[in-house]
Structure 1
Amino acid sequence: MNNKSAIILPLLAGLALGSGASIAAYTYIYQSSKDAQLQSADTVIKKPLYWVSPMNPDYKRDKPGKSPMGMDLIPFYEETNTGKDTGLGTIRISSDVVNNLGVRTALVINQPLHTKINTVGYVQYDEDRLIMIHPRVEGWIEKLYVKAEGDPVKKGEPLYEIYSPALVNAQKELIIALDRGNTRLIQAAEDRLKALKLPRQTIKALKKSRKINQTITLYAPQSGVVTSHNIREGIFVKPSNSIMSIGSLDQVWVEAEIFERQVFQVREGLPVTMSLEYLPGKNWSGKVDYIYPTLNAETRTVKVRLRFDNEDKYLKPNMFSQITIHAQAKESTLLVPKEAVIRSGSFDRLVLALGEGRFKSIKVNVGRIDDQSAEILSGVKAGERVVASAQFLLDSESSKTSDFKRMNMQSDEEREVSTLSATVLVDATITSLMKDHRMMTFSHQAIKEWGWPEKKMTFTIPDSIDISILKPGMNLSIEIHKSPSGKFKISKIHAPNKTKMNHETMATGQLSE
């Protein structure tokens, strides 16, 4: 009995100790899991440091609300900057915040820049195919077959009949030479009749019949349209008189104007597309034929000549057209989405996406810009990723500790220069025109002097301005004046093919969101 007790008692003691250890271990694991859950819950529900406007990073509040532009304020949380350090200005945010902000990124690519230059043009006759009709001799117009400007003619059709003593004498000389059988005289008489523009069939008939024609019929040298008409039946004409001209419509010229800053992007031979309001949905393809060598001092534009085929004769001289010049660069360059660039008065920036929720704002040099892409001359490399949306908030936080000065930290000299820019000249395009309310909305280029990106503005047009010359789609150069009180007014408008418009009475305007 004593031996059994000696064996059982140690077993019971071991079992009790094992059960107690198991209970203690389970309790520890449960409590650790609970603490981890509580800690995770604390992380999820922790309070933001502040709320900020998505379009104006300097507008911060200590509670949710609306920005001055009516947008919801975005919360900003304190995040621990973990991971590999990439220098001053690097920030790190969680993936949840990235999703809430709607951060979208894009690659920096290396490819040619396709720039579209939109302007307007006017259809003209092809002056290379414009023929002036002059008589080679003095005489009287006996009969007129084409009697009005704009009449169509075909090559070989009769234009007019003329009686000229000089033509009669030239015919007599040929007949005399034929009667004598002198080959040299015959050839000389024929050459004189050809020089006087006597038709070949008339000369051939004269040699056969040897009968002098008192009146000679002249024929159209080409098919086309009579562009000018300066004669009537019975009128006396001389070689100095331009009696009519004939223009061909198989091919037409279109004269357009481009702004001074766009001239370096255009060269002869570039493809061009054109559309007309009277025939929507149809486009014509042509090319740049010539760039005129002078600049219009009033409109600050350069005239370019475009060439289009017109086999169906839809294009008529003096028609108004919408022009797009496709300026495709030959060499490849670094490109980013246009909306990824943050424009300011001092310099331009991009926000790099470094991975693992890390971002950094960097300074870049921006070159040419088209409808979708912006050329980056320095600051990034091909293959890097940049933020293309919601970059303003990220840039604001990164700029606090970045290795370049913030946009509002100007030197005294820079601040003095910026205050002098009270009036700027900007290229703009009319997007809509409400003539009944005398209001105009236009899209303008970025204004670096004021730190404005490309945007739309709406102005009230004063009664002193003739709005009949303004049309949607028209390209303009507009001078905008900034008053000390912060109001913006139009001081002058320069329109292509128009003199400078009178704007002594200024129009008050407001920015559209």
Structure 2
Amino acid sequence: MSSAKRNIIYLLLGALLGVTLTLLLTDQPETHKENSAGQDKSPLYWVAPMDDTYRRDKPGKSPMGMDLVPVYSKSEQAVAKGEVKISPQVINQLSVKTVAVEQRDLSQSIKTTGYIQFDEDKIHHVHPRVQGWVEQLFVTSVGDSVEKGQPLYELYSPELVNAQEELLIALKRNNSELIRAAKSRLKALHLPEDFITNLQKNKQIKKNVTFYAPRTGVLKKLNIRHGFYIKPGMTLMSIGGLEQMWVEAQIFERDTALVEAGLPVKLTLDYYPGRTWHSQLERVYPVLNEKTRTVRVRFSLNNPNLLLKPNMFANIEIETKPIKNALVVPAQAVIQTGDQNKVVLALGDGVFKSVDVVMGQAAQGYIEIIHGLTTNDRVVSSAQFLIDSESSKTSDFMRMQSNTLPFAQVKGVINSINKATRTLNISREPIAKWNRSAATMDFIASPRINLDRLMVNHPIEFSFEVGDELVVTQITLLEGQ
């Protein structure tokens, strides 16, 4: 579902729930009569069922043709700012459930993808010690399997010919020092021991010298072809082993604090369903990739059956180190609004309050609470829509609070309109219920009021609330006056 559709659904649900809460949290006439002995039984005002800002001093119809609902004074009020008291009947009707904040060990797993590659520590790179020409190449392409001692290439090098001649001269002179020096030079040029022994025995110089594979494995790189001229410093080829493989994976920047060497790791392959490999994290690389914002991690796997092949993709699961005795609440109890994270704190006796919390790690259906709760608290774990549909950064249960602002409905005339400050100067008629005479004063227009449709010197009937400011909540243009 797209975010736009989801937002529309939330708005519709919020409007419907707002009306439901208005009705549920308002004492009905029958209940009021039973429990309000000695109290004023007259309604404070009448409100539209589908719009709680549409208020009147007497019964009537809403703009949608529905009967206005009477709102009575509450017999019980919230004890502090931001708190709301809900009757047990309403709690049952709304299926409000609470759970205790608890401490538990919280662990999570990081799932990512990785790829299998050669063990870099065991790759053998073949470099020449002399310059010369490749007379014959015994391996042809990357991926070829090679065995230790297998011929790789044949080289003609004048330098190797000269080194052989030096040994024969030393042998002819029977000079042990020269013999030892000549043999050492041949070894330094990577000529094998059996080649030197045969040269010493047969005394025949070979113009083309064959070089052999130093280990068993797979040809990872091949940078030469038949007839190439090579010289020291060149990497002719690389041979990697398959008996042990490296696995590298990428983890997001936000998870770097959770991983360290020694954590258990599981690996699965789509190529081998149902089979799992286990290992331990060996390395967390210290450098963050500035483009992908990820960090590399690595571990090794033995590969006796050669099932793991270089460049295979793998599914990786890293078990992070558990957080001991974390203070947690169920994940569904936290209301995440983007800028704020809140929970509904159950204070007892039907009193609730929305409080800000600082979240930590989330795992196993729980969220760690770093700040905002204690182990003695209880939070609402269901019916979270009661807050989500009504709250914002500044509302803090304002639509659920039982206290109501003083409210009046009166006729008047608009003298001036300031759209920049949304200020209306209105000359109003007397307000009988407050014993107030007629007056001219400034009012603040509610954000719901469209100022463009208002006209100066036009008679109106309007409703307003008395709080920190006089706020106009409803305006009706009167005709024929």
Using structure 2 for the length normalisation, give the TM-score. 0.58
| Whole-Å separation in 1 of the counterparts to 2:262 and 2:196 | 45
Residues 1:406 and 2:396 are matched in the alignment: yes
1:257-336 correspondence to structure 2 within 5 Å: 257-286=250-279, 287=281, 289-297=283-291, 299=292, 301-311=293-303, 312-329=305-322, 332-336=325-329
Query: Corresponding residue for 2:18?
Result: 58
Unaligned runs of 5+ in 2: 1-11, 25-49, 51-72, 400-481
Q: Does 1:388 align with 2:381?
A: yes
CA distance in 2: counterparts of 1:307 and 1:55, whole angstroms: 53
Q: Residue 89 of structure 1 corresponds to which residue in structure 2?
A: 83
Q: Is the partner of 2:215 in helix, strand or coil?
A: coil
| Matched residue SS, 2:187 | helix
The count of aligned residue pairs is: 339
Contact 2:139 2:153 in 1 (8 A): yes
Q: Percent identity?
A: 41
Matches within 5 A, 1:60-75: 60=20
- The 3-state SS of whatever aligns with 1:194 is helix
1:119–1:256 Cα contact (<8 Å) kept: yes
Residue 368 (structure 1) aligned with residue 328 (structure 2): no
Question: What residue identity is the alignment partner of 1:200?
Answer: E
Q: Quick one: higher RCO (CA 8 Å, sep 6+), 1 or 2?
A: 2
2:128 partner SS: coil
Uncovered stretches (5+) of structure 1, i.e. residues with no partner: 1-51, 68-77, 410-513
Instruction: State how far apart, in whole Å, the 1-side matches of 2:244 and 2:163 are.
Output: 38
The alpha-carbon deviation at position 110 of structure 1 amounts to 4.1
Match runs of 1:177-326 below 5 Å: 177-286=170-279, 287=281, 289-297=283-291, 299=292, 301-311=293-303, 312-326=305-319
Q: Which amino acid aligns with 2:18?
A: D
The answer on whether the counterparts of 2:83 and 2:354 sit within 8 Å (CA) in structure 1 is: yes
Deviations 1:172-208 (A, max 9, x none): 3223334444333233222211111111232233344
1:100: Cα distance to partner?
7.3
How many Å apart are 1:109 and its aligned residue? Answer: 1.0
Letter of the 1:231 counterpart:
I
Matches within 5 A, 1:64-213: 89=83, 91=85, 94=88, 98=92, 101=95, 103=97, 105=99, 107-111=101-105, 113-213=106-206
Q: Secondary structure at the match of 1:167?
A: helix
Residues 317-375 of structure 1 show CA distances to partners (whole Å, capped at 9, x for unaligned) of 33333333333256553222222211124432223456677655433211233353212
* Paired residue type of 2:181: A
Q: Residues 254 and 306 of structure 1 are in contact (CA less than 8 Å); yes or no, is this contact kept in structure 2?
A: yes
Secondary structure of residue in 1 paired with 2:336? coil
Change (3 A) 1:294 1:56: farther
- What is the RMSD of the two structures over their aligned residues, measured on CA atoms? 4.1
Q: Distance in 1 between matches of 2:213 and 2:100?
A: 63
Partners of 2:16 and 2:174 in 1: how far apart?
100
Paired residue type of 2:296: V
Matched residue, 1:19: none
Alpha carbons 1:105, 1:389 under 8 Å: kept: no
Change in Cα spacing, 1:133 to 1:364, as seen in structure 2 (3 Å) is same
- Deviation of residue 123 (structure 1)? 3.0
